[in-house]
Structure 1
């Protein structure tokens, strides 16, 4: 019989006369890690990491946020810990999924309300408008502004999702891709913690995924009370938080 399916983890075996619907067994790889508010054991074989919006417009000193006077130093803080963590996850065959803001060039997937959020006066450089310094259209798919920062250059094995809302699950194939990978547990990283990271994590939790935030791999350019409130909400509602160093130590042989 011939295997058929979107990924090696999610396949049938078929012939002209029969179909075997039993998916391949995925041997569990339990890992126990120090986390908050309690210790967590998860299955590494059924896990993925979502890295959200680590893009030039949010994290580069020539990007959109910097151009409107935002200090992007906090948004760059996750770069170093992610540089250490992501190769270890890839080596363990954990999917790395980049969930990046990437609007259509014609902006037909953006509402006036959403455009207003990013260009309140209507006279500034909002979504899809060229930045005065670089000329790159703000957060437009395929443009320099929407690319992952150079320090975190994605691996060819990684998966990319373009989003156009705060949540990476809204009107994107993210849910389908994760289910075809037969993933149950999601780690979260990126910016802004209290906006796109939180909303994507909330939707993942509502959809039935286990959700854990890697605290030092996520950040916000907003005041620290926003970070504190987000961590509190995660502990009370959405799951757990942990440090990348504790995760790497727990994964070590």
Structure 2
């Protein structure tokens, strides 16, 4: 497969081919690309040919100083913004290693018609605070296509990146993410973004329930919750769900020598 970053480059394997009057349903063989990774509780070997990098909720309404979290809820987003360089570094390494980069952001319907009471009223304190779909500091809060649902300008994207909207803490609920990953023939998901104890953890756990391997990048995830919450999430991840690693270790794995694909 050519090493380009067009919108469909990673999906090109899952296509039919035609030769004259004959149609072949045989997909090209996928060559394994093993890469060692330092991780906890055990070291890993990734198959880069079946790995994707997930960037969760690095978007304006959560992280911009004028967004919903900071301007409306008074959240201190400055510590979370320090994650941007690490995430950009990992995305660049992933693209160079022909690993898909998938940005998963909140992006709800403008009418919030598919959000149940336990989502709307928990977020709005039973309607006493502005939440999903309400008019926020810079437009409707977290509405797909709006400013709040867009990734931060400082998060570097590329034409070959994939973008998926979600409307639950989990990125796997009632949207296209699972089907996209199946078409990519991905089995391992590497998680970055915010908030570790909310959308990152919910997406990771749900992904595990769907059968995907999980690796959390400790220093590329963040939360405004107290430090003991992060410790608990990482402990539970290592014990029950998967593995944790670091930006430096993952960058080394992405840059390990690999055979060229044909």
TM range (shorter): over 0.9
Instruction: Say if 2:115 is the partner of 1:113.
Output: no
Residue 17 of structure 2 aligns to a residue whose secondary structure is strand
Residue 132 (structure 2) aligns with: 127
Contact 1:58 1:75 in 2 (8 A): no
Local SS of the residue matching 1:152: coil
Post-superposition Cα deviations, 1:167-192, rounded to whole Å, max 9, x if no partner, equal 11100110100010111111001111
Deviates more, 1:185-194 or 1:153-162: 153-162
Residue pair 2:110, 2:143 contacting (<8 A) in 1 also: yes
The aligned residue for residue 3 of structure 1 is none
CA distance in 2, matches of 1:204, 1:115: 23
Q: Tell me, yes or no, if the aligned pair for 2:88 and 2:156 is still in contact at 8 Å.
A: no
Contact 2:120 2:126 in 1 (8 A): no
Match of 1:46 in 2: 50
Distance 1:106 1:90 in 2: 36
Write the distance in 2 (CA, Å) between the matches of 1:168 and 1:195: 11
Distance 1:18 1:236 in 2: 51
Query: Counterpart in 1 of 2:75?
Result: 70
Match of 2:25 in 1: 21
Residue 55 (structure 1) aligned with residue 78 (structure 2): no
Aligned residue in 2 for 1:8: 12
Tell me the SS of whatever aligns to 2:160: coil
Q: Shift of residue 14 of structure 1?
A: 4.8
Q: Which residue of 1 aligns with 2:90?
A: 85
Equivalent of 1:168, from 152, 160, 171? Answer: 171
Structure 1 gap segments, 5+ residues each: 1-5
How far is the alpha carbon of 1:19 from its aligned partner? 4.7
Provide the secondary structure at the position in 1 that maps to 2:144: coil
| Cα distance between partner residues in 2 of 1:172 and 1:73 | 30
Runs of at least 5 residues in structure 2 that lack an aligned partner in the other structure = 1-9, 258-262
TM-score normalised over the length of structure 1: 0.92
- Following the alignment from structure 1 to structure 2, what is the Cα–Cα distance between the partners of residues 181 and 196? 22
**Residue number in structure 1 paired with 2:215:** 212
Partner of 1:184: 187
Please, what TM-score do these two structures have when normalized by structure 2?
0.89
CA positional deviation for 1:250: 2.7
Name 1:248's counterpart in structure 2.
251
Query: Which 4+ stretches in 1 moved above 6 angstroms?
Result: none
Q: What's the offset of the Cα at 1:122?
A: 1.2
SS in 2 for 1:189: strand
**SS of the residue aligned with 1:70?**
coil
239-248 vs 109-118, which moves further: 109-118
Give the secondary-structure state (helix, strand or coil) at the position aligned to 1:62: coil
Indicate yes or no: 2:219 matched with 1:238: no
Q: How many residues align?
A: 246
Q: CA deviation at 1:50?
A: 1.0
Name the CA distance, whole Å, in 1 between partners of 2:28 and 2:95: 21
CA distance in 2 between partners of 1:60 and 1:137 (Å) = 15
Mapped contact 1:205–1:238 kept (Cα < 8 A): yes
SS of 2:16's partner is: strand
- Is 1:156 matched with 2:163? no
Match of 2:5 in 1: none
